[in-house]
Amino acid sequence: MQTRFPPELLADPRHAAAEAIVRKCVHCGLCTATCPTYVTLGNELDSPRGRIYLIKDMLENGRAADSRTMLHLDRCLTCLACTTTCPSGVDYARLIDLARQHVERTGRRPLADRALRGLLAVVLPYPRRFRTALRLSAPFRFLASILTRNKVLRPIGAMLALAPASVPANTRVAGTARPSGEVRARVALMAGCAQSVLDPAINAATVRLLNRLGVEVVHAAGEGCCGALVQHMGRETSAQAFAAANVRAWMAADRERPLDAVIVTASGCGTTVKDYGHLLADRPDLANDARRIASLAADITEFLARLDLPAARNPMNVSVTYHAACSLQHGQKVTLQPKALLAKAGFTVKEPREPHLCCGSAGVYNILQSEIAGALKARKARNLEAARGEVIAAGNIGCLTQIRSGTDLPVLHTVQLLDWAYGGPAPEGLPARFRVT
Ligand code: SF4
Ligand code: SF4
């Protein structure tokens, strides 16, 4: 794509980076077919190509973000399906980050929108605050459908609709979980923020499974949210602060005794941690360590695939429909390992139609853009149910929460099923008929 950025703007490294990305786009439009918002809304400005035009126009002319540009950029899920499809290698992920930072710096949002975004940024990334907020909101869940009818109050209704009826007890652990026998690897396990509150059973299953496989698991003191939640709202400084805290925490464990991996069980977070080298590139004190952590980061299924697990001796007699989280398939390009591991563990693996399309979760998207997210959830649930698996598996807490609110089928993390297959307890979310083995 031809660009006309004036030299004074190109002197800014952000503009220069954005210009280099925009120039790679040959406006072929192939990405439009796999973009969930274009497929849903049918508007070119809600496609990757349309958004690239809007970003180019905004940055090239050095102007503040207007309401039209904000509307269409806000509607982007950051699902990165376009990056999988694009034949020209356009780095849309980096471009939308740069654009969102510009929007955050220059755009004027309505007061209610600003207040909501501010609230999400100071509550969701902090497990204690998030748990308290969920507990306080539980009695008001019945208001969800009423509030979603009002345009201003719709995000509050969406939050209430997603809130669980009861909040699991705080089981956050510290220290190191050691295997009983020989240690074959040492890893740090990311506890993160929202997942540790909404579904602590996921990391509990991970620790059990890794320990049984001879892997020592470190829970590093001081780690927390990966920074993705605020990064996707254009709050770069805040995202860098979260990333810096995590890098320091995991590097302390690495210096004590080298780590073989930093394991992440929420793929949305994994995508961000793998990008820490870039996020902290401007921090001379942390850039090297950030690159080391990014190179160690691995989705749990990536790491388990490296361990070469034994094939199951008996079938599990459960068919599993695998939902590929966008952050795992498009963000990290981890596509085969989860399905191969489930099959090797004895499950019958089924694939839904349109596996490339987002479920609509996308961090806080299902709160801020609940109508589009609702349409995508319904489409995803239909496709998953049509695959006729008895259980749905996915590798990201956002997807699990979103899909659970759209289907009656049990929806579990892939690692919970693997833990069960390799000798752990049957997951809590399974109906009783599966739990008798
Ligand atoms: S597929 Fe790539 S090159 Fe083609 S329009 Fe989309 S972003 Fe541009
Ligand atoms: S990230 Fe997803 S929603 Fe955004 S433009 Fe790309 S495909 Fe469309």
Residues 332, 364, single domain; the answer is yes
**How high is the pLDDT of residue 166?**
87
For residue 34, how far is its CA from the centre of ligand 1 (angstroms)? 11
Q: Please name every residue paired with 322 in a beta bridge, in sequence order, or none if there are none.
A: 393
List all residues whose CB is within 6 A of at least one atom of ligand 1.
25-31, 48-49, 82, 85-86, 88, 90
Which residue's structure tokens are 């094939």? 311
Contact 235, 330 (CB under 8 A): no
Nearest CA to ligand 2 atom 4: 76
Contact 242, 226 (CB under 8 A): yes
Nearest CA to ligand 1 atom 3: 25
Question: Quick check: is 96 in a domain?
Answer: yes
Residues 202, 151, single domain; the answer is no
| Final residue of a structural domain among 277, 304, 331 | 304
End-to-end CA distance of the chain: 59
Beta pairing class for 175-177 and 185-189: unpaired
Residues 179, 300, single domain; the answer is yes
The pLDDT of 303-308, averaged and rounded, is: 95
Which of the four pLDDT bands, split at 50, 70 and 90, describes residue 170? confident
Question: Quick check: is 429 in a domain?
Answer: no
Contact 82, 34 (CB under 8 A): yes
Q: In angstroms, what is the C-alpha Rg of the chain?
A: 21
Question: Quick check: is 1 in a domain?
Answer: no
**How high is the pLDDT of residue 435?**
67
- Can you tell me the distance from the alpha carbon of 392 to that of 398, in angstroms, rounded to the nearest whole number? 14
Contact 265, 195 (CB under 8 A): yes
**How high is the pLDDT of residue 434?**
76
Question: Quick check: is 427 in a domain?
Answer: no
- Can you tell me the distance from the alpha carbon of 113 to that of 311, in angstroms, rounded to the nearest whole number? 51
Mean residue pLDDT of the chain comes to 95
Whether residue 35 has pLDDT greater than 70: yes
Encoding tokens for residue 189? 């396990």
pLDDT, tens only, 101-147: 999 999 999 999 999 999 999 999 999 999 999 999 989 999 998 99
Q: What CATH number should be reported for the domain holding residue 73?
A: 1.10.1060.10
Angle between helices 111-123 and 127-137 (to 10 degrees): 120
Residues 291, 351, single domain; the answer is no
Residues 15, 84, single domain; the answer is yes
Question: Quick check: is 436 in a domain?
Answer: no
Residues 333, 220, single domain; the answer is no
Nearest atom within ligand 2 for CA of residue 83: 6
Q: How many separate domains does the chain show?
A: 4
| 3-state per-residue secondary structure call for 383-431 | HHHHCCCCEEEECCHHHHHHHHCCCCCCEEEHHHHHHHHCCCCCCCCCC
Beta pairing class for 348-350 and 319-322: parallel
Nearest CA to ligand 2 atom 5: 48
**How high is the pLDDT of residue 436?**
59
Identify the burial level of 182 via C-beta atoms within 10 angstroms of its C-beta, where 0-12 means exposed, 13-18 middle and 19 or more buried. exposed
Nearest CA to ligand 1 atom 2: 86
Ligand nearest to the CA of 326: 2
- Can you tell me the distance from the alpha carbon of 339 to that of 356, in angstroms, rounded to the nearest whole number? 15
Residues 208, 144, single domain; the answer is no
Q: What CATH number should be reported for the domain holding residue 244?
A: 3.40.50
Nearest atom within ligand 2 for CA of residue 31: 7
Nearest atom within ligand 1 for CA of residue 1: 8
Residues 295, 365, single domain; the answer is no
Residues 400, 314, single domain; the answer is yes
Question: Quick check: is 270 in a domain?
Answer: yes
For residue 109, how far is its CA from the centre of ligand 2 (angstroms)? 22
Domain around 245: 175-304
Which of the four pLDDT bands, split at 50, 70 and 90, describes residue 432? confident
Question: Quick check: is 299 in a domain?
Answer: yes
The pLDDT of 168-187, averaged and rounded, is: 90
For residue 360, how far is its CA from the centre of ligand 2 (angstroms)? 11
Residues 299, 184, single domain; the answer is yes
Work out the number of other CB atoms within 10 angstroms of the CB of residue 139: 8
**To test the ligand 2 pocket, which listed residue (82, 358, 372) has its Cβ within 8 A of the most ligand atoms?**
82
| Final residue of a structural domain among 280, 304, 328 | 304
Which of the four pLDDT bands, split at 50, 70 and 90, describes residue 48? very high
| Final residue of a structural domain among 106, 121, 152 | 106
Question: Quick check: is 428 in a domain?
Answer: no
The pLDDT of 32-55, averaged and rounded, is: 98
Nearest to 190 by CA among 49, 61, 300, 316: 300
Reported as type and span, the H/E element at residue 185 is strand 185-189
- Can you tell me the distance from the alpha carbon of 235 to that of 327, in angstroms, rounded to the nearest whole number? 20
**How high is the pLDDT of residue 6?**
93
Nearest atom within ligand 2 for CA of residue 34: 7
For residue 230, how far is its CA from the centre of ligand 2 (angstroms)? 18
For residue 429, how far is its CA from the centre of ligand 2 (angstroms)? 32
Q: What CATH number should be reported for the domain holding residue 368?
A: 3.40.50.1860
Residues 337, 241, single domain; the answer is no
Residues 200, 281, single domain; the answer is yes
In sign, the C-alpha dihedral spanning 365, 368, 369, 371 is positive
- Can you tell me the distance from the alpha carbon of 244 to that of 289, in angstroms, rounded to the nearest whole number? 9
